[in-house]
């Protein structure tokens, strides 16, 4: 998904991409390859005619009166088409000029801004600004140049800056060094602009460009993989290519989420804005380079040619990473902020749509909070599963679900976890008989019935349709025989949802039926499996002629495969937590100021991105859209986040591992436990196959 979420934002991005494509920017960049002082004047004229550099400036000075996110969407779209010239420095200048009306008016009138800076700012003495600046972006053709001098940032006339062409890495921009010699009377001081604001503004806008770069590279690689044939088949049907494309999708969605949040946060509290920008820098700058490299890898030899456009995107991504504060420094900054207690406070603006809902919800929640048995009250009001239809829920739409969550949290009411019951009940509600619903749904919600899942088998894990447990017809029901494995809570469950083959002659995905098994039945043998943690959460379950009556078959015979994939039409919408997971928090607590900052910062950044993906999914639901790629990617990245952060904690413990103790034992247990996350519920590799085929459309 692109940066934009609402229909208007999506349409804005689409319109700008179509406009930018007509500029044929890559062709212009190639034609100017040997021109170190190329101004890309025609492109700049088109940009100013559209006002794309001043989208976030107020209309009082001739700007577009849009948001920072609108401006970021424009940059993303233009980067997707690799518009050459000085758009990024111009946008950077316009965002900083919002507190300096005179400068803002000159920018909206069409004056072009370049950018120059150095570790040491220019000098201000004797009424002049002078000095050498080691980095200059798109100064050729600039009417104005932004640069640091003394303790402030200034805008000086372009005629006062001498540009020396340098690196030809990014063919769409002119990079070099500069010398400034300007009278202070000719310069404009940017009012109230601090170094930290400059840093986060540049990081946020560069991340937006990275989102566009990554999206083009992903789309290009996937399109090529669908049609390029090797060994008689499209290369996109090969698992290695599928996985590489799926990983590109993961990285691209992470970049997009981080860039989106950095743009949204830019006008928030400076600490929150800075944290979001550093997370974006950690995620997007490296990520865009990685996706561009993977694109070339999938393209193969054609991707290595100068004629193909892929290298132009790699060049821009590498240049951005080199010139924008990112990498180790940004990761260390994230760790330092987290060590100081900063966490990204992610919010969903309901835009007043909750006004008519909230009072009634608040009253209901107050009654739940005051009840002697809060779980019973949650069930009776429908607030335990509000997205379900009555009588089990309240048919809550996305807004109502969020309001209920917010009010429950404010009242200190915690919903109990239904565990496997949360998987069993939707199928019973959707496909079960009236008798089954009456017998199982409300008692399970009240906590009177616990469930286990009898799906996986020794020869049917991720390939669930390969199951061999058979169900033979007998008088009044069925007898089940087979072996199940990796069954959580089998020893304490009252009932199990079980798949068994009722028609052995049917095709692989047919002839499977869905049973509700009484775990106290004769013929059930439960054997605990001790895991690497030392615990025995999982079990083997042997079924030896277990009788299941006809009234415990859910739905139609042979329809079990479809039932396993059941989800309610009105899916649960929830606001992701802004808190880091347990291991990431522990890593922050353990990190010292003189080491390991980068590793901890990257861990915090990834955990934050996972939360950002969750918020984007929620906002898509509020906009009336179906689940996007974010939800699938969040599962994959969430597993990586938990596994990596738990391993990092054990590494940070160092010598303490030799002495042990409760904290050490807990950390080791968590590290070992998380290894199951990339296996349970479908391995990471299977999920990447699914993402590649269902989201990216690669062939089976």
Specify whether 186 is catalytic: no
CB atoms within 10 A of CB 466: 12
Q: How many CA atoms lie within 13 A of 502 on its CB side?
A: 22
Contacts with 430 (C-beta within 8 Å, 6 or more apart), sequence order: 566, 568
Token code pair at residue 576 = 């992701």
DSSP state letters, 500-542: EES-TTS-TTSSEEEEEEETTSTTEEEEEE--TTS---EEEEE
Query: How many other β-carbons are positioned within 10 Å of the β-carbon of residue 503?
Result: 14
Distance, in Å, from the CA atom of 214 to the CA atom of 129, rounded to the nearest integer, reads 39
> In three state form, how does the secondary structure of 33-74 look?
CCCCCCCCHHHHHHHHHHCHHHCCCCHHHCCCCCCHHHHHHH
CB 457 within 8 A of CB 484: yes
Per the CB < 8 A criterion, the answer to whether 565 and 513 are in contact is no
What gap in Å lies between CA 22 and CA 316, rounded to an integer?
20
| Beta carbons of 431 and 558 less than 8 angstroms apart | no
| Two structure tokens written together for 470 | 């058979």
- Which is the catalytic residue, given 571, 630, 647, 670? 571
CA–CA dist 51, 532 (Å, integer): 60
From its phi and psi, is residue 447 left (phi > 0), alpha (psi between -120 and 50) or beta?
left
Which residue, 509, 507, 489, is CA-closest to 499? 509
How many Å apart are CA 174 and CA 170, to the nearest integer?
7
Question: In whole angstroms, what is the distance from residue 89 CA to residue 53 CA?
Answer: 9
**Whole-number Å distance between alpha carbons of 22 and 78:** 11
Judge contact between 144 and 208, C-beta under 8 A: no
Residue 160 CA to residue 567 CA, distance in Å, equals: 65
Burial call 54-76: b when 16+ CB within 10 Å, e when fewer: bbbbeeebbbbebbbbbbbbbbb
Residue 211: strand, helix, or coil? helix
Q: What secondary structure does DSSP assign to 180-243, as a single string? A: EEEEGGG-EE-TT--HHHHHHHHHHHHHHHHHHHHHHHHHHHHHHHHH-EETTEEGGGSHHHHH
By the 10 Å C-beta count (0-12 exposed, 13-18 middle, 19+ buried), 665 is classed as exposed
* Token representation of residue 429: 């509600």
| Environment class of 340 (CB within 10 Å of its CB; exposed 0-12, middle 13-18, buried 19+) | exposed
Cis peptide leading into residue 391 (ω within 30°): yes
Q: Give me 635's structure tokens.
A: 């599962």
Of 51, 45, 97, 107, whose CA–CA distance to 74 is shortest? 51
User: Are the C-beta atoms of 282 and 605 separated by less than 8 Å?
Assistant: yes
Burial class (CB in 10 A: 0-12, 13-18, 19+), 296: buried
> Which residues, 6+ apart, have CB-to-CB distance to 459 below 8 Å?
466, 467, 468
CA-wise closest residue to 20 among 217, 303, 212:
212
Positions marked catalytic: 571
């Amino acid at each position: 998904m692109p940066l934009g979420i609402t229909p208007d934002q999506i349409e804005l991005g689409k319109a700008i991409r179509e406009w930018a494509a007509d500029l044929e920017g890559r062709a212009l960049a190639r034609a100017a390859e040997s021109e170190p002082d190329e101004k890309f004047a025609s492109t700049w004229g088109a940009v100013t005619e559209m006002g794309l550099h001043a989208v976030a400036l107020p209309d009082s000075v001739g700007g577009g009166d849009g948001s920072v996110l609108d401006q970021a969407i424009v940059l993303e779209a233009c980067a997707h088409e690799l518009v050459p010239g000085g758009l990024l420095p111009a946008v950077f200048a316009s965002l900083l000029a919002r507190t300096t009306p005179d400068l803002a008016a000159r920018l909206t009138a069409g004056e072009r801004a370049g950018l120059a800076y150095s570790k040491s700012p220019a000098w201000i003495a004797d009424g002049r600004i002078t000095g050498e600046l080691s980095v200059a972006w798109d100064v050729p053709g600039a009417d104005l140049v932004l640069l640091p001098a003394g303790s402030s940032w200034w805008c000086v006339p372009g005629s006062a800056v001498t540009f020396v062409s340098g690196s030809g890495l990014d063919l769409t921009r002119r990079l070099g060094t500069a010398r400034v010699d300007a009278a202070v009377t000719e310069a404009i001081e940017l009012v109230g602009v601090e170094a930290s604001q400059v840093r986060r503004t540049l990081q946020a806008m560069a991340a937006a460009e990275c989102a566009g770069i990554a999206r083009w590279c992903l789309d290009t690689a996937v399109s090529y993989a669908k049609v390029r044939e090797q060994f008689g088949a499209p290369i996109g049907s090969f698992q290695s290519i599928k996985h590489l494309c799926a990983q590109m999708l993961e990285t691209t969605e992470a970049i997009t989420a981080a860039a989106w949040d950095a743009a949204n946060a830019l006008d928030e509290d400076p600490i929150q804005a800075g944290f979001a920008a550093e997370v974006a820098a950690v995620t997007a700058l490296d990520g865009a380079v990685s996706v561009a490299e993977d694109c070339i890898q999938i393209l193969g030899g054609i991707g290595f040619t100068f004629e193909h456009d892929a290298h132009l995107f790699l060049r821009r991504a590498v240049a951005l990473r080199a010139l924008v504060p990112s990498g180790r420094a940004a990761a260390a900054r994230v760790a330092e902020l987290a060590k100081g207690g900063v966490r990204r406070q992610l919010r969903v603006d309901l835009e007043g749509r909750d006004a008519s809902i909230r009072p009634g919800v608040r009253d209901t929640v107050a009654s739940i909070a005051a009840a002697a048995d809060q779980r019973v009250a949650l069930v009776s009001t429908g607030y335990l599963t509000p997205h379900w239809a009555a009588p089990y829920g309240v048919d809550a739409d996305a807004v109502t679900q969020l309001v209920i969550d917010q009010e429950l949290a404010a009242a200190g009411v915690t919903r109990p976890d239904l565990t496997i019951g949360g998987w069993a009940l939707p199928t019973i509600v959707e496909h079960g008989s009236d008798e089954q619903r009456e017998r199982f749904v409300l008692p399970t919600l009240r906590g009177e019935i616990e469930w286990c899942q009898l799906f996986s088998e020794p020869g049917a894990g991720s390939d669930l349709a390969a199951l061999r447990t058979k169900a033979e017809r007998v008088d009044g029901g069925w007898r089940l025989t087979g072996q199940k494995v990796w069954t959580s809570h089998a020893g304490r469950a009252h009932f199990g949802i079980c798949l068994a083959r009722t028609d052995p002659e049917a095709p692989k995905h047919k002839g499977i039926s869905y049973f509700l098994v009484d775990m106290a039945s004769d013929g059930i043998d439960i054997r605990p499996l001790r895991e690497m943690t030392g615990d025995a959460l999982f079990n083997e379950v042997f079924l030896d002629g277990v009788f299941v009556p006809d009234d415990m078959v859910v739905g139609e015979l042979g329809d079990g495969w479809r039932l396993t994939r059941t989800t309610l039409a009105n899916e649960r919408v929830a606001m992701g937590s802004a808190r880091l997971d347990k291991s990431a928090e522990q890593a922050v607590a353990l990190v010292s100021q003189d080491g390991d900052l980068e590793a901890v910062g990257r861990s915090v950044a990834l955990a934050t991105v996972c939360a950002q993906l969750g918020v984007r999914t929620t906002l898509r639901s509020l906009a009336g859209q179906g689940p996007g790629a974010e939800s699938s990617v969040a599962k994959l990245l969430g597993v990586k986040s938990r596994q990596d952060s738990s391993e990092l904690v054990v590494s940070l413990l160092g010598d303490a591992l030799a002495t042990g103790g409760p904290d050490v034992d807990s950390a080791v247990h968590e590290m070992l436990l998380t290894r199951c996350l990339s296996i349970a519920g479908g391995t990471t590799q299977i999920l990447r196959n699914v993402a590649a085929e269902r989201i990216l459309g690669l062939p089976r």
